[in-house]
């Protein structure tokens, strides 16, 4: 079991640039979640998908953030344009059903200068 795979592990870029984070969920899982972790706000859910369909995006901070899941094995989280306050660790998690726990990837540490 390869686990949830996220890329890149680290990203440093200048403000105003577009940032794309990628996630490959565990095969067979039908739910995918994007979380953001900061010192100030802790772990926050940004958006989650079920069967590739966005179910709840109420945690997406603003229109600069967008997420897609074109198929069951891939999702992206895009920030355009990026701002310094977007600096955080972004985790992707996947799960199956409501009785199984979510499995987390190693995260992408994003720094916007």
Among 91, 110, 111, 113, the residue binding another protein under the rule CB under 8 A is 91
Binding of another protein at residue 104 (CB under 8 A)?
A: yes
Binding of another protein at residue 105 (CB under 8 A)?
A: yes
Kindly state the smallest distance separating residue 15's Cβ from another protein, in Å.
Answer: 25
Q: Is 84 helix (H, G, I), strand (E, B) or coil?
A: helix
Respond yes or no on whether the N-terminal peptide bond of residue 12 is cis (omega within 30° of 0): no
At 27, which helix (H) or strand (E)? none
CB closer to another protein, 18 vs 47? 47
> Among 83, 95, 108, 82, which Cα is nearest to 49's?
95
Binding of another protein at residue 43 (CB under 8 A)?
A: yes
Binding of another protein at residue 31 (CB under 8 A)?
A: yes
CA distances to 39, 69, 90, 99, 100 from 76, in Å? 23, 7, 11, 25, 23
Binding site for another protein (CB under 8 A): 31, 33, 42-45, 48, 50, 55-56, 91, 93, 95, 98-99, 101-107
């Amino acid at each position: 079991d390869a686990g949830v795979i996220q890329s890149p592990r680290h990203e440093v870029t200048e403000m105003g640039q577009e940032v794309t984070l990628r996630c490959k969920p565990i095969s067979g899982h039908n739910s995918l979640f994007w979380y953001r972790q900061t010192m100030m706000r802790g772990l926050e859910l940004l958006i989650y998908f079920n069967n590739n369909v966005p179910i709840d995006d109420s945690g997406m901070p603003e229109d600069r953030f967008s997420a897609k899941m074109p198929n069951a094995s891939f999702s992206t989280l895009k920030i355009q344009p990026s701002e310094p306050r977007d600096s955080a660790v972004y985790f992707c998690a996947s799960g199956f059903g409501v009785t199984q726990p979510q499995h987390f990837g190693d995260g992408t540490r994003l720094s916007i200068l």
